[in-house]
Amino acid sequence: MTKHLLVLQLRCPQCGACLTEGTQVLLDAHVQDTHQDGTVRLSAVFGEYTCETDLKLPEGAIVEFRCPHCDASVMIPSTCKVCKAPMVSLNLDQGGYVEFCSRRGCKGHALGGIGNIDDLMSLMNRMLDTPFD
Ligand SMILES: [Zn+2]
Ligand SMILES: [Zn+2]
């Protein structure tokens, strides 16, 4: 049985560069706690909050993300409903945007993982082109 994976095609809100490579989103990252800079590969799969990085990223660490192309911050002023960490916002290729939590291990870290369920459903519908009931 093959599971249909919903891979989000994400773009930088500033320069429009495509940030999704395969099933991962590539972003430059700065870890607040340890002042480390590096690269983080987030899962681009809808609802997954795994990530790969060469940084030391303890559970609970907050990461500031930047576009690897134009170096602009992709952080936004709103905070995570679950843990109050700053949120990240990236544009969707299909239109609209996704926001996710910048804290490692938070469930809000999943792309589209939390938020308004109606928004999520309409997002799913747009992405899959087949309406859910
Ligand atoms: Zn950019
Ligand atoms: Zn959070």
How high is the pLDDT of residue 113?
47
CA–CA gap between residue 70 and residue 33 (Å, rounded): 24
Report helix, strand or coil for 50.
coil
How high is the pLDDT of residue 133?
47
How high is the pLDDT of residue 59?
86
How high is the pLDDT of residue 4?
64
Give CA separation, 99 vs 3, 31, 35, in Å.
24, 19, 23
Looking at all shown ligands, the one closest to residue 103's CA atom is: 2
How high is the pLDDT of residue 12?
97
Instruction: Calculate how far, in angstroms, residue 3's C-alpha sits from the geometric centre of ligand 2.
Output: 27
Mean pLDDT of residues grouped by 10 in the chain (133 residues)?
75 97 95 92 84 87 96 94 91 86 78 54 61 48
Looking at all shown ligands, the one closest to residue 74's CA atom is: 1
How high is the pLDDT of residue 17?
97
How high is the pLDDT of residue 3?
59
CA–CA gap between residue 61 and residue 17 (Å, rounded): 27
Instruction: Calculate how far, in angstroms, residue 128's C-alpha sits from the geometric centre of ligand 2.
Output: 27
Looking at all shown ligands, the one closest to residue 68's CA atom is: 1
* b/e per residue 63-90 (b: at least 16 CB within 10 A): bbbbbebeeeebeeeeebeebebbbbbb
Among 58, 97, 90, residue whose Cα is nearest residue 72? 90
